[in-house]
Amino acid sequence: MPLSYLCKRKDNERFSPPGHTKTQSWPMISPNDGSRNIAVHVSEMKPGGEALKHTHETSEQVYIVLSGRATMAVGGQTFNVKKGDVVYIPASVEHQAKVVGRETFKSMVVFAPPL
């Protein structure tokens, strides 16, 4: 399979991650594109949406906040995040998120290695 060096959001590939409400995610870079070590998703969580407590046993995760606000809890620490913030979640660390306010919470989410 040839590598894709330009990755665009394809609406037909969106999905709602398990344990997330009012959330859509679009894979941008994944093993389907030839990536072996990372996956990148665009995620949109609508007002009232949340990600229940969960872990990713073998993947580190990074959220790059593009817009909106959320309360996130990572490893027992709770904080508010907004546009420009970056959140690091180590593998096997419990985390959750909940949208704050009326704006959609949009983020670029990186997994290494891919889920």
Q: Report yes or no on 4 lying in a domain.
A: no
Say whether the peptide bond before residue 2 is cis (omega within 30 degrees of 0).
no
Cα distances (angstroms) measured from residue 61 to each of 38, 39, 75, 101, 113: 10, 10, 13, 24, 9
Residue 59 inside a domain? The answer is yes
Q: Give me the CATH number covering residue 99.
A: 2.60.120.10
- The answer to whether position 99 is within a domain reads yes
In a domain, 82, yes or no: yes
pTM: 0.91
Domain coverage including residue 65: 15-112
pLDDT tens-place string over residues 27-80: 998 888 888 999 999 999 999 999 999 999 999 999 999 999 999 999 999 999
Number of domains in the chain: 1
Residue 5 resides in a domain: no
